[in-house]
Structure 1
Amino acid sequence: MPPKRQVTIQSDSEDESERGSPKRQRSDPLSDRDAPGPSQPTQTQDNDSSDDEGDIVIPIAAEDADFDRENIDKVRAAIQAGKNTVKGIAEYGLVQAIELEDFMCHKKLNFEFGQQINFIIGHNGSGKSAVLSALTVALGGKTTSTGRGTGLKSLIREGQHQATVTLKIKNEGPEAYRHDVYGDSIVIRRRFNVDGNTTWRIMDATGTTTVSNKKEELSAICDHMNIQVDNPINVLTQDSARMFLGASPPKEKYKLFLLGTQLYQLSTEYEACLESIGRTERVLASKHESIPDLERLHKAASARLKEAEKARRQEEKVHELRQELAWAHVAEKGAELEEKLADVATKEGRIPKIEESLRVSEEELVAQEEVVHACEGELDNVGSVDTLLNRKGKLVKEVREHTKKIQGYDSEFKRIDASILELEQTVKDLEQQIADEELRMATDTQAKRDELDQRLAEVKKEVDTLDAKMKDINERKRVLMVANDETQAAGKKVADEIGGLQQRIAEADNMILGARQSMKDMFVPYGNNIKAVVEEIERAKWHGDKPLGPLGRYVKVKEPEKWGAVLRNQLQGILTSFAITDPRDRDQLKRILARDKNYNSILISERDIFDYSEGEPPKEYHTVLRALEFSDPWALRLMIDRASIERVVLSPKRKPLEEALLRLRGGGTGWTLDEFFVRVYPDGGIQSNGLNMNRVRGAQNLLLSGRNPEAEIAHHEQKKAEFVAQVQQLQQRLNAHKAEFATRKAEIGLLDNEGRVINDQLRQARARLSQLQEEVNEEMPTDIAGFVSVKNETEEDIANHRSQRVAVEEEKAKSVSAKREFEREIETIEAQIAEFNEKHEKVEEALRKAVLLRVEKQHAVTHYNGKLKEEKEELAQAQAHAKVTQEEFENWSEGALRLCHDERIETDRKPEEIEREMKSTKKALEQRKATADKRGASIDDLAAEVDKCWTVMNKAKREWKQTNRLNRALKRAIITRLRRWVEFRSHIALRTKINFGYHLSNRGYFGKVDFNHTEQTLQLKVQTDDQANKGSGEKDPKSLSGGEKSFSTICLLLSLWDAISCPLRCLDEFDVFMDAVNRRISMKMMIETATENSNKQYILITPQDMTNVHIGDNVKVSRMDDPQRGAGLNMAAG
């Protein structure tokens, strides 16, 4: 396969016809002026005296006649061998199909091409030439080369906004282009619109998958397949073919020859290279002239330097001291750098600790937030005491009202008693007056009066007796009612005790049930179905370590009977908690616990087995930690971290604990068996509060019991039996109280009945007394009767007052009884309020402590954030200082290495010592310089001048030599390429001549192609058959007829086609000037040529029909109908 050349694809635009000239103007090798070029000899003299290669001369190519004589036989043989060689169909680069949409005059046109010869025929105006235009546009050619417009928008069908051209190219064989991506075909689709926008879609064989939409990919495809769409020989449009077949001048034909064979592009590139080489030669010549002057300067400087050689030793000494001084400074800076780096390392080491403390504080803050939320929830669950307070208020009001009534009754008693005393005194006075009057009365009425008086006295006695009985009954009722109130209060107390014992019995039953369940499931004390929780924890995947818990699994109490209850009550929350190391695991563990309605605490902490011994008090203090045993060291650290068990002291009694904590430096906290929480502050203050020992419920009582399930069951069964026995005893007492209460209540009922009977008798007796008194009054004298009447009225008043006092006593007894009932209810409510307040205060105290602890955690987070920021700022400052010191150290080291020529000098002397020695040596050196150089130049200046002169001279020589060699190599390379270009041109010209004669012979003509490479012309000379008969010579094509001229040009075109390797050849309206004979022969000749070159594809467009042309299997004729506006077009294959 011939070598491939890069194909440059020009992009079309609306103003393509208005483009300016190229940026760099180059001489045209096809111009008429006599300028040096590939066809002109050029000589160049090399001025490098040190490189003995002689002159390079561009040889003149041999004369065409000599070349033809020497090579004609070889070329003929090669042409004949090529004809005899059977060539297969090209495997890639052939156009398989094309589709036009709204392109030029076609609304829609599509058909497929044959793999060798394709004739497209149709009447003028049928749109045949649009196929070549579409082919050029689809492959990225210039719009102007189609001869159909100045821009892409001129190719869009009138009235439409955009046009689309789709091309399908064969892509088979081992050298196919990216066959794994595209497959056996490459589909190229170009769409452009009237706004000047254009897009490519390069797709695989299916036409559905877009591989690329970039023009660079299309360029690569054309380059790989050697498709030259802008080559005027490969694709001759209608206008190009008409001009080519017409009277084109020799220079135009020669230009077409060079352009079609790509020789023109090579010639312009070679000329540009020669121009660049010439400019470089002139620059080198100028530089070469300055070298002797540089040599003289170096020689003079060296001579002056030799005069100061004696001072060199001292100068070297100074230099050595300077080097040592530099490394002494480097050593000092290195020591300083080590100090800075050590400081940075120290600060860097502190930051992880602070970050860890910050992380722990943040985790503790999160955990404490949960505690606060839990306490708030518990506070909400406690409820409100308003109902009890309201009821108490009402009862207090009732008590006050009854108290007021009782006080009123007492006042009424006093008033009645005073009235009775006064009335009794009045009766006594009246009786005395009556007695005095009776002494003055006659004795004849004495008997009757004595009888009445006796009867009156008897009735009075009866009234007094009945009145006394009534008082006795009322007093006995009062005593019984008071006794019943006491019995009722005692019975309620016993009932409350029974209720408490029954609750303990239920708790014992629950404990027995829990203990029995724990025989099968050891996790019963820790929550609901915790065994399943632990199993799920084992199966689940975690970000950090597998969660640990519940922590109580790993804790035992050493003296459970003594300390178990207190420790269980105070540590139950953490004993049932779980621990994780990664905060991201919290939500998953929380979900697992919540499935069975477990709300155990979740602790977040790193697995840090720290030393806690410093936080413990002396050994004589019995702490919670010393009362427990742990089977897991992390569980131990968690309880130390969360509950400070290493510092909480245990004691049987409060007072000894207070005294012990006072002896501790800084105070402390502790718990006692008599249920006290004691805190001693550093200033000596003491706070003691009662422990809430009722917080543990249900199966949690199994925690820290120290008993196995069997012992636990036996223990609680024994407790239950004790409670049952106590309940039975209390029940007997309660039954006795109830019987006693019922007996008294019956007695009170009997007394009420007896009181009613006596009251009736008393009323009847008083009625009789009143009647007798009236009779006595009637028998008495008027004065005595008046006294008696007043006395009787007074006695009735006394009786009424006494009856009234009895009624008031009854009302008072009712008020007293009601008051006592209300007071007992108040006592009950106050107990409930006290219990509520105690519980509320404990929850509030827990919330307050939790909030205070949260504030402490927040302060800790704030503190560590500030500390971390401060440490980071200090670290950044230290790093900045270290960086500056590092840079100074590196710069000083680099300077010292440069000074010492990459050699390190070890020294342990101080810079001051070296500076003193160097100062004395410099002083001696300056004295030597003054005597060695009278011109005032120092040794350093002389050495620097010699070095500079040598460097400049050596650099100039080296650069000149290297550049000169490179330029000569480039010149030799370009000359070699020029020789080959000339040979290639001569070879193509000779091949064209032979093929031209061969093609003319098909018509019986004789002729030749004259190439004048110097004048850059191409002339055809043809002798027709009638001219041969007449014996006339060859003549210019201008004198030929139109058909003869077209036939001759076709022969030339076929000859040129033979010289190029593009797989695609297109020709439009090649036979417009031919007569029938020339057209038939031309057709036959073109078909034969195409048949011989079966690896090429021919697309030939003609307005003539193909009736007189023999069509073989390798020929496909497509007839194009006249286009119908508004309808799609199809090709009819012949």
Structure 2
Amino acid sequence: MSYKFKIVSTRVLRLILESDKKELTTCKTIENTGSTRDQYHTAVGTVQHAIHKSKDEHYKLGREEQDAKNSVESRKKQLNNLRASRTNQLKRFGESMPALLEAIEEAHRQGRFKKKPVGPLGACLRLKYPEYALAVESCLKSLPLSFCCDNYRDEQVLQTLMSRYFNSGKRPQINVCEFSNQVYNVKDRAAYHRDFQTVLDVLEIDNPVVANCLVDMRGIEKVLLISNNSKAREVMQQQRAPLNCREAFTAAGDQVFANRYYSSEMDRARYLGSDVEAEISQLELEVNNKMAQVSHFQQQLHSVEEEIKINETHMKTKQMQIRKIQGSVTKIKLEITDLENVDEPQSVDISTLEEEMQDICQRIESHKEKLEQARKKMDVHRKILDEAEQKYKEMKEKINVIAEDADPIKDELSKIDAEVGKCKHHKRHYEEKKREHMDGIDKLKENLKNKETILEENTAKAKQIFAERIDVTRTPKSIDMEINRLRERINREQERHGNKEEITRQYYDVLERYKNVKSQIKNLKRFMQLLDKIMEERHKAYKIFRRYISLRCKYYFDSMLSQRGYHGKMSFDHKNATLSIAVQPGEGDKAALSDMRSLSGGERSFSTVCFILSLWDTMESPFRCLDEFDVYMDMVNRRISMDMMLKVADSQRYRQFIFLTPQSMSSLPSSRLIRILRMHDPERGQTTLPFRPLDQAEDSDE
């Protein structure tokens, strides 16, 4: 019994030792897995750094691409303005500039300006020396697009007009300065140098307002223009600056002060250039170069995006591996916790312990296999990590090499793009020449084909005379001489006897013309008879229509007179083209109608109004005007006449009625259809009209 207990105790002790050994092995596995996890974390951090760096480069390339696109759009807009300026020079200052100037002219005609604004100022300038165009524009900056106003009220009106054609941030500048007919005297304060001129000297300015504005705003009399940069530095910085000279500009547009130097951001003149075609060609070349740069940036962006995608995929793979390793570590730690929680084994049956031992051995073998698999996976992942690190190092080295070589390559690429643009220009030129030569060749081929056709026709005609071609030894010149001699003989014979075929042909031609003329005369007679019949029908219809119009006029005249209790009669004599009117006022004898001359002034005015309204009803016109119709009417006749005219006007709203009267219109009913315009009363006691003398008016217009 004691022996059995010892065996059991030994086995239990061995199990405990094996459990401790297993726990120790598991701890080592955890340590190895933790080391592998740290390596993966390091690799992920490296990949993340590479991704951030690639994204920074992607952002930088995107900014450069957007800048290039903006530059392309700006140059395309300038190119369109230059092309449009071929027909209208004002379009060089903007697409909306001609419309704005038309609006200013219209507002000036309407009297909205005290003095018409002047601008754009660049349209009022002319250069004596075209090579200084860029320098002058660099000096004036935005002033060539600006306008000048005499007062602030005119400025507000001009601002309102500009808001129709320009956005608030892109409106031309408005300079307010009192207009003067004399240019400032700047001789005492102008800059002077014996070799160079000022901006004011190289400009031809006809308008004194423009010259004074540039002197006030920019001080152009104190700015020198120097041809090259080195000379400008020598004059302004290496020796004492010229008298009254504040600054200088080079032909390239650089700005030079006594103690500093600023390079120009402009590469060409936009408003003062004289050779439009050369500027268009230069802009087209610049647009092509910028488009090539945009394409290059897009390719680089695509390459960087692919690199970012590859690195992100690699990072996701490493993160998944880290999560798997983390899961394995957590599982092993749980097993360690389970082992630590196992109590010391009690004296149990040997068979139970043996079963447990076998189970534990199986678990140990299973864990060994899993450990071996984990080691193999770790080796595979380590190889992948090494390969990824190697690729990252290679990629980083390539990126560094590319970054070092980028600037000279960009410069070389710009030069190549410029050369490609020139080559494309030459290619288009020579393709045009080739097209012209090909057109000439096609014309010559067509001419040759026509000659061959003529030759074939002449050969066919010759075969009609003689079927076989005769070989001759005579020269073409001698054959031509014989042909001419035979033709002369034939002509002499025809002159003596006449040509039968020609006479026969002439006879048939004359006969055909005779038949055609006879047929045309017959058709014309029928047409004349038809026209006579049509004219008779039209004349009958005209008489009927004239009679109906006369009756309608009489009816309306009598009905309108009846509203006042008058009676009237109108007599139309269409034969003698006369019209007579007789009116009987009041309830008198209708037969005792009197002439218009026997009526009073008010009765005659009322009758005239009735007559005019009856005539208006028989004619078509969109406008009806009547002047001083109620001068001699009393209040009753005037009220009745006004009611009649307003009633007629209300029934004919598609026409416009205009009534002129010196009487008060306050008694008229209020309506949205009636508009009363009252002129100001004239000044009493005025002996002379306020007209200006002719010479003063001319001075004002100037």
TM-score (norm 2): 0.38
Which structure has the larger Rg over C-alpha atoms? 1
TM-score (norm 1): 0.25
